[in-house]
Amino acid sequence: MRERVTADPFAFDPFSSPCCRVALLGFGTVGSAVARRLTTLDSDRAPAIRLTHVLDRRAEEKRRHTPLAGVAWTTEIADVLQSDADVVVEAIGGVDPAVEWIRAALAAGKSVVTANKQAIARHGAPLLALAARQGRQLRFEAAVGGAIPIVRAIGDGLAGDRITRIDAILNATTNAVLSLVEETGCSIDCAVRAAQALGYAEADPSADLDGDDARAKLAILCALAFGLRVDPSQIPAQSTASIDGADIARARARGAAIRQIAHADFDRATSTLTAWVAPIEVPRESIFGRATGPQNAAIVAGEHSGETGIFGVGAGGDATAVAILSDIAAIARDKAAVVPAPVLDSAFHIPHSSFQIPVAEAV
């Protein structure tokens, strides 16, 4: 018996799989990394996934700087909506106009892949409902944890369990800052500038240090793990900006490290969600203490599976592009065999009073 073996997960048989056309919104750190991967996937065969359109507000300048063969550049969302693209990748970030454009793309019959944690945390449920009505997919693996497949792990891989608790490092910038200060003794400001230069930080890095970024990601994980719709602004957050080199050195002397931890546990018996984001001391030899630079880590506890750990690079163009390409591949494969996207449930609205922060544990 002769079997056709393809080692490259993107190398669909071009004769049996229709080509999947991709339009990209945003050509910044993440968007340009996605474009680079999509245009170098499978150079010697007919590609099964093809980048056809790039939208960027500085399209002309970026096109001159990075010419991409066979790609149409535009500044107009209408050009993308009216195009023959099957999948729209949203890599512009922020809520406005990203949410409106995701909605418009789904309404125009496209599937959407996004790295946008704020859009999914705040508007994920209605957008997923729209995608389902349209018979299209909305995938968001890149919105949480960069390259680590935590959305699939919780929304799909552990779907057979009842998840009770999540502890995680979800912000790569803060982790890179804390570990750089720990390793070199440099100032927090200097470490933040290094993270910005490497493309990890948000446009305003206070969103990283103050916990807004991790709150949005934790809200998404709460939806996937517990079926709860949580407003990220309801999750208490303590800023890491108040941590200094002396705090870090003291922790180090105790065999500990300071990490920004996002925690959520859900008591189903009392319908109580406890969730917070705060810099806390963790044992240096734990999965969290060993996460350095832009790494993220998570321990997910389930009633039947016990603890499952996941660890890897949580930000940066190349790492985030991996998650986006994985989502595109899942959608492209879906043309032959349906793989449903993870579902954000909206069963509960949690009253503000049910959030707790264990003050004793916070630094």
* Helix, strand, coil share of the chain (percent; to 5): 40, 20, 40
Q: Out of 90, 202, 210, 265, which residue is the one contacting ligand HSE (CB under 6 A)? A: 202
How far is the C-alpha of 165 from the C-alpha of 50, rounded, in Å?
Answer: 40
Grouping H, G, I as helix, E, B as strand and the rest as coil, residue 49 is strand
Site string for ligand HSE, 116-155 (x = CB under 6 A): ------------------------------x---------
Applying CB under 6 A, which part among 119-127, 166-174, 179-187, 261-269 lies near ligand HSE? 166-174
**Dihedral pair phi/psi, residue 330, rounded to 5°:** -65, -40
Q: By the 8 A CB rule, do 40 and 34 touch?
A: no
How far is the C-alpha of 69 from the C-alpha of 73, rounded, in Å?
Answer: 11
Is 315 or 341 the residue whose CB approaches ligand HSE more closely?
315
CA atoms 146, 152, 153, 154: torsion sign? positive
Minimum distance, C-beta of residue 236 to ligand HSE, in the bound complex (Å) = 19
Minimum distance, C-beta of residue 200 to ligand HSE, in the bound complex (Å) = 4
Helix (H) or strand (E) holding 249, with range, is helix 245-253
Q: Out of 10, 200, 276, 288, which residue is the one contacting ligand HSE (CB under 6 A)? A: 200
Contact call for residue 287 and ligand HSE (CB under 6 A): no
Nearest residue to ligand HSE, using CB?
Answer: 173
CA distances from 312 to 116, 145, 292, 297, 320 (A): 19, 8, 10, 6, 11
Contact call for residue 201 and ligand HSE (CB under 6 A): yes
Contact call for residue 260 and ligand HSE (CB under 6 A): no
Q: Out of 172, 251, 282, 329, which residue is the one contacting ligand HSE (CB under 6 A)? A: 172
- Give start and end residues of each alpha helix (H) in 39-87: 59-65, 77-81
Structure tokens, 267: 């008591």
Is 163 or 214 the residue whose CB approaches ligand HSE more closely?
214
Q: Out of 137, 173, 240, 326, which residue is the one contacting ligand HSE (CB under 6 A)? A: 173
Q: For residues 312-341, which are near ligand HSE according to CB under 6 A?
A: 314-315
Size of the residue set binding ligand HSE (CB under 6 A): 11
Q: Which residues contact 8 (CB under 8 A, 6 or more apart)?
A: 41, 42
Contact call for residue 101 and ligand HSE (CB under 6 A): no
Q: Out of 56, 141, 182, 213, which residue is the one contacting ligand HSE (CB under 6 A)? A: 213
Grouping H, G, I as helix, E, B as strand and the rest as coil, residue 259 is strand
Is 52 or 175 the residue whose CB approaches ligand HSE more closely?
175
Q: Out of 29, 137, 171, 295, which residue is the one contacting ligand HSE (CB under 6 A)? A: 171
Residue listed under structure tokens 């071009």: 14
Minimum distance, C-beta of residue 362 to ligand HSE, in the bound complex (Å) = 20
Q: Which residues contact 155 (CB under 8 A, 6 or more apart)?
A: 224, 342, 343
Contact call for residue 209 and ligand HSE (CB under 6 A): no
Q: Catalytic residue positions?
A: 217
Is 10 or 140 the residue whose CB approaches ligand HSE more closely?
140
Structure tokens, 254: 């105790």
Contact call for residue 114 and ligand HSE (CB under 6 A): no
Is the previous residue joined to 283 through a cis bond, with omega within 30 degrees of 0? no
Minimum distance, C-beta of residue 61 to ligand HSE, in the bound complex (Å) = 24
Residue listed under structure tokens 């909305």: 138
How far is the C-alpha of 213 from the C-alpha of 232, rounded, in Å?
Answer: 9
- Chain residues binding ligand HSE by CB under 6 A are 146, 171-173, 200-202, 208, 213, 314-315
